[in-house]
Every structure is written in structure tokens, then in C-alpha cells.
């Protein structure tokens, strides 16, 4: 197989550019392998973050031919190699160096969100009882590996930089996992509407499309939360009933 | 985040994507535009909306109008003379509002008609952004009320399909059971519209999604699973039902104009 050309973004917070590299691609290689090979052969100082190479740690997020993806889960055989493969860092977060971005904003957001608040234990030994059927719905959300690809593709963050007012799809998934949990007693609706900016989501489903864990982010987490927010803040009949009912 | 240097947002249409990303929003744009143009034209016609026992879904229920389907007789006297009249004007706002505020359609037309974004990971034309967080789009939260109306329409259209099975003998005036191609068109119409309407996200929430302890409510649990099942293919139902409701009007119209023949099966 002839060598494949890669255009890899090199630079940091002050700016950067695409540099061209060529390397041999062999059977079974993923994009992360190719990047490591380039690092070994011709760019020893190329910065790339990775850890598990198994699609589970969420470290190797980048944009491959314009699509947010995990480098370790993108097979070279699935990419057209008759033209250069373009690899660049996530666009919704500040650059550190080359393919590595600073995703710490996400951890700050998570600290702000209300924690899990279970009701009092059901049994004297401090344990709870609940039906499996009631947690089936939130199980999907727990697959999240915090790769932040959904945050990266969401135009509210990526293009409009609403990082102060909008927590992004990853944290709607997190909020949904807690809010819909049968044991949880916390009330997050006020926060979702105001501080967390759920109204900014305009249901493009881009987050759902890029999630490597195939979490149905928009349909199963965001829209159901939006509907709960409607119950509380926008449905006139429900609001009236609440006033009458005290 | 303002203190941190982010990448420059991409310019309108700028992207590293290699696929033909504009095809999908373009198809949505053309599909919706074609439907809007046709349905508006059809609503203005105020003619050829019935044929035999069939009534076009664009004109059902016919609250006032000239056909034998009209519930309260012809155009009311209070209707302003300068305002064009069509039975379709009285009702079409409800299904139109239902589709306009539908979660699937919202995501689709924000992309196709407003380029917000043009497609995923493609640069946008405008810097400012309010989303559905403030007026006017905050009004989309009214969707569940359109659902209630749309549900009533399903019942009415099912009744129309039933009436489409009873043909009048022109000689005797007696009605007898029968099935024409038009009957099947009306039945498919109500099935597709039903599958779209009953897969609505608001309904999914109302029947069960709003409860965290669904297992304590077995009836709701079943209903929630049924709605979720339709909801998984909500986009597909949205498009099929949109196409078919337009086709149903075309069918009745062309039969009424004598261009198509309505073959009787039974
Ligand atoms: S569906 Fe909402 S949260 Fe997901 S990418 Fe689109 S705007 Fe962002
Ligand atoms: S929801 Fe999916 S895309 Fe978003 S951070 Fe979790 S695993 Fe990644
Ligand atoms: S290296 Fe862990 S997800 Fe790719
Ligand atoms: S969400 Fe599409 S019809 Fe309600």
C-alpha cells in the first residue's frame, strides 16, 4: 500500500497551521496508530492525548475529516485515503498543543451541578428497593465516557461560545441520569431552565450523531428534560393547577 | 470562558467535512418548500376537495363549506367579504402548528431554512444566537397543546376513512359498503398520521415520561413503551405522513376533476 498523506493541525493557543505528513498504513490500523507512527517517524514533538486505545477512556477525541470522533475507534480502512486525511483538535475547547485541548471547563461545569440526592433508605440496614424497570431508562446515560465529542459538535458551544450560560449535551445526559432516577429527590428544573440554559439547545441532534457510546442524547435525555421544564414553566394549565392545588 | 482563547468560529459554510453535508439540509428545504407551496395552493382552491364519499384531509373537518361533508352549512354570513374563504383556512392552522412545533421538524428546519447550523460542524452565517431560550422560539414550548388538537384530527380522519367505505348509488340514493382505491388512500393516510402523532415527544412525556416510578403504574408503563416505539422512528413517520397527506389531497382532487378514475375493489 502506498503511503497515506495526513494533514495534522500543529500549534497552540496563539495559533497554528496544518502540516503535511506521510506514513505507511497497514491492515487493522486506526487513526491513533497512524498518528503515533507519524510521531515516531517524523514529528517527535507532536502532542496527542490517549490512554486506553479501546474507546473507553474518552481521551483521544479529535476531528477527523471534519467529524468529531475518537481517534482510537476510527479505522483507517473506513477513510478515503486517495486524499489527505485531515486531523485537528476539538474546536469547542481552548488549544493546549497540537491535537490536545483543555477540556477542564467540563469538570468545572460538573462541579456546579446538583448531586444525586437519594430518598431516605427503605430498609433499616440503609439499603433501598426499586424496580429495575424504573432504572432501565437511565442506564443508557451511564455509558458516557466523557469524551466531550458531543460538547465539541454542539454549535451552541462550538460556534456561539455560550460556555457561561449553557452546560452542553454531556451534562444534560448527566442531569437526566440523576433527575429521572427513581431514588433521586433533588429538583433540577429551575437550574436546567436558567443557569444550565437548556433552552439554547435547538434539537439539531448533532450530539447524538457523534456519541461513540450511541447514547440517544437528544431524544432520550434533552427532549424529556425540556418537557419537564415545560411542565414547570410554560404549560399554563399545569401552572394554574399548581396555584389552585397550592 | 471569556478569559480563555478559543478557536475562531468558522465562517458560514466553512468546514473540514469531506462528505456532501449540504445534501441533507437541501433535501429538507426542497421537501418542506414543495409541501408548503402545494398545501397553500390547495387550501386556496376551495374546489375539488371531495369525490364521492371521500373528503380531502386538507379540508377535514369541513366546518363551513359547500360540500355534503360540511358540518354547519355553507360559508357563514359573518365572514368578511374581502377575505378569501376556504374551509381549509379554518382548520389547517392546527396540523400546521403541530408540525411547526414538532421537535423533529424544529431541528430539521433550523438547519435547512435558518442555517443554525447549516449542518453539524459547519460554520454559521450569524454570530448572535438565542435558540429557544427567548422570544420568539420560546413559543415552541406550546407543542403539547398542538398535540391535543392533532389527536382530535386523527379521530376525525379515521371517521373520514370509515365514511370512505360507504358509497351512494346515484340512481337510488342508497348507500352500500365498498372499497375503492380512494378508501385505501384515506386509510393509509390515517395510519401514517396516527403513527406520526402517537410518536410525539410531548405525548411520550405526558403518558409516562414525566414519572420516575413507572413500574407502579403498569398501564402508563405500557403506553410509554408503545409511544417510545413509534417515537424511535419519528422522523420517518413525519416524512411518510407528510408526503401521504399531500398525496391524499392530490388523489381526491384529480378524481374530482375527472383526471383520475377511482377504481372500485369491492
Ligand atoms: S441537539 Fe442540542 S445539545 Fe445536541 S448538539 Fe444540537 S443544540 Fe447541541
Ligand atoms: S454523551 Fe457520548 S459524546 Fe457526550 S461525552 Fe458522553 S460518551 Fe462522549
Ligand atoms: S484512547 Fe481511550 S478512548 Fe481513545
Ligand atoms: S415531537 Fe414531533 S409531533 Fe410532537
**Span B214-260, pLDDT tens digits:** 999 999 999 999 999 999 999 999 999 999 999 999 999 999 999 99
CB-CB under 8 Å, B134 with A219? no
C-alpha cell at A240: 394554574
**Which residues form the pocket of ligand 3, taking CB atoms under 6 Å from any ligand atom?**
A 50-53, 55-60, 70, 72
What is the DSSP-derived secondary structure letter of residue A122? Answer: S
Summarize pLDDT for A147-172 with one digit per residue, the tens: 999 999 999 999 999 999 999 999 99
- CB-closest option in A161, A162, A230 to B141: A230
**Count of pairs with CB atoms under 8 A, one residue in A, one in B:** 146
CB-CB under 8 Å, B117 with A228? no
Q: Which pLDDT score, from 0 to 100, does residue B2 have?
A: 47
- Smallest CA–CA separation between B203 and chain A, in Å? 10
> Distance, CA A63 to ligand 3 centroid (Å)?
14
Question: Is B227:B257 a contact under the CB 8 Å cutoff?
Answer: no
Q: Which pLDDT score, from 0 to 100, does residue B170 have?
A: 87
Residues in chain A where the model's pLDDT stays below 50:
none
Cα separation, B64 vs A164, whole angstroms = 53
Q: Which pLDDT score, from 0 to 100, does residue B221 have?
A: 97
- Predicted ipTM beyond 0.90: yes
Given CB atoms, is B110 within the 8 Å cutoff of chain A?
Answer: yes
- Smallest CA–CA separation between B103 and chain A, in Å? 7
Mean pLDDT of chain B: 96
Cα separation, B166 vs B183, whole angstroms = 9
- Substitution site in A144, A156, A224 for ligand 1 pocket (most atoms within 8 Å of beta carbon): A156
Residue B3 has pLDDT above 70, yes or no: no
With bands split at pLDDT 50, 70 and 90, how would you rate the model's confidence at B4?
low
**Ligand 2 atom with minimal separation from the A148 CA:** 5
> Distance, CA B177 to ligand 2 centroid (Å)?
57
Q: Which pLDDT score, from 0 to 100, does residue A13 have?
A: 87
Pairing of strands A85-88, A4-12: parallel
- CB-closest option in A86, A200, A230 to B133: A200
CB-CB under 8 Å, B124 with A159? yes
Establish how many alpha carbons lie within 13 A of residue B244's alpha carbon, considering only the half-sphere containing its beta carbon.
20
Burial of residue A98, with CB atoms counted within 10 A of its CB: 0-12 exposed, 13-18 middle, 19 or more buried: buried
Residue B10 has pLDDT above 90, yes or no: yes
- Smallest CA–CA separation between A170 and chain B, in Å? 16
- Substitution site in A58, A64, A211 for ligand 3 pocket (most atoms within 8 Å of beta carbon): A58
User: In the predicted model, what is the mean pLDDT of residues B153-167?
Assistant: 98
By alpha-carbon position, which residue is closest to atom 6 of ligand 2?
A: A144
Residue B92 has pLDDT above 90, yes or no: yes
Pairing of strands A61-64, A85-88: antiparallel
Amino acid at each position: 500500500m502506498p503511503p497515506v498523506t495526513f494533514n495534522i493541525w500543529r500549534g497552540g493557543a496563539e495559533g497554528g497551521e496544518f502540516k503535511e505528513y506521510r506514513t505507511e498504513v497497514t491492515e487493522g490500523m486506526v487513526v491513533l496508530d497512524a498518528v503515533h507512527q507519524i510521531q515516531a517517524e517524523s514529528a517527535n514533538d507532536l502532542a496527542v492525548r490517549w490512554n486506553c486505545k479501546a474507546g473507553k477512556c474518552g481521551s483521544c477525541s479529535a476531528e477527523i475529516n471534519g467529524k468529531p470522533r475518537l481517534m482510537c475507534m476510527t479505522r483507517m480502512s473506513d477513510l478515503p485515503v486517495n486524499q489527505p486525511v485531515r486531523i485537528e483538535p476539538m474546536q469547542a475547547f481552548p488549544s493546549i498543543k497540537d491535537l490536545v485541548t483543555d477540556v477542564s471547563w467540563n469538570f468545572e461545569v460538573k462541579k456546579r451541578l446538583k448531586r444525586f440526592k437519594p430518598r431516605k433508605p427503605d430498609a433499616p440496614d440503609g439499603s433501598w428497593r426499586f424496580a429495575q424497570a424504573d432504572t432501565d431508562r437511565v442506564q443508557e446515560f451511564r455509558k458516557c465516557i466523557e469524551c466531550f465529542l458531543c460538547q465539541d459538535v454542539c454549535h451552541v458551544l462550538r460556534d456561539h461560545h455560550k460556555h457561561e450560560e449553557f452546560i452542553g449535551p454531556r451534562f444534560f445526559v448527566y442531569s437526566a441520569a440523576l433527575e429521572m432516577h427513581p431514588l433521586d429527590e433533588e429538583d433540577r428544573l429551575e437550574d436546567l431552565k436558567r443557569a444550565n440554559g437548556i433552552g439554547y439547545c435547538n434539537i439539531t441532534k448533532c450530539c447524538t450523531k457523534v456519541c461513540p457510546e450511541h447514547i440517544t442524547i437528544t431524544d432520550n435525555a434533552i427532549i424529556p428534560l425540556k418537557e419537564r421544564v415545560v411542565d414547570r414553566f410554560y404549560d399554563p394549565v399545569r401552572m394554574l393547577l399548581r396555584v389552585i392545588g397550592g | 470562558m471569556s478569559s480563555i482563547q478559543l478557536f475562531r468560529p468558522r465562517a458560514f459554510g466553512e468546514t473540514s467535512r469531506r462528505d456532501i453535508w449540504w445534501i441533507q439540509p437541501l433535501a429538507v428545504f426542497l421537501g418542506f418548500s414543495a409541501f408548503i407551496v402545494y398545501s397553500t395552493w390547495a387550501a386556496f382552491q376551495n374546489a375539488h376537495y371531495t369525490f364521492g364519499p371521500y373528503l380531502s384531509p386538507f379540508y377535514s373537518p369541513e366546518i363551513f363549506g359547500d360540500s355534503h361533508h360540511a358540518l354547519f352549512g355553507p360559508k357563514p354570513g359573518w365572514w368578511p367579504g374581502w377575505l378569501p374563504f376556504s374551509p381549509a383556512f379554518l382548520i389547517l392552522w392546527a396540523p400546521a402548528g403541530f408540525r411547526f412545533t414538532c421537535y423533529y421538524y424544529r431541528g430539521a428546519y433550523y438547519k435547512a431554512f435558518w442555517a443554525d447550523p447549516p449542518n453539524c460542524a459547519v460554520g454559521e452565517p450569524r454570530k448572535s444566537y438565542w435558540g429557544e431560550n427567548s422570544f420568539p422560539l420560546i413559543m415552541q414550548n406550546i407543542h403539547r397543546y398542538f398535540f391535543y388538537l392533532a389527536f382530535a384530527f386523527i379521530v376525525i380522519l379515521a371517521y373520514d376513512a370509515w365514511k370512505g367505505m360507504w358509497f351512494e348509488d346515484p340512481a337510488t340514493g342508497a348507500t352500500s359498503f365498498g372499497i375503492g382505491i380512494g378508501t385505501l388512500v384515506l386509510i393509509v393516510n390515517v395510519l401514517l398520521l396516527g403513527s406520526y402523532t402517537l410518536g410525539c415527544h410531548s405525548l411520550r412525556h405526558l403518558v409516562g415520561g414525566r414519572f420516575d416510578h413507572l413500574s407502579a403504574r403498569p398501564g402508563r408503563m405500557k403506553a410509554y413503551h408503545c409511544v417510545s416505539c413509534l417515537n424511535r422512528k419519528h422522523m420517518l413517520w413525519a416524512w411518510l405522513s407528510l408526503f401521504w397527506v399531500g398525496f391524499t389531497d392530490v388523489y381526491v382532487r384529480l378524481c374530482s376533476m375527472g383526471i383520475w378514475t377511482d377504481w372500485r375493489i369491492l
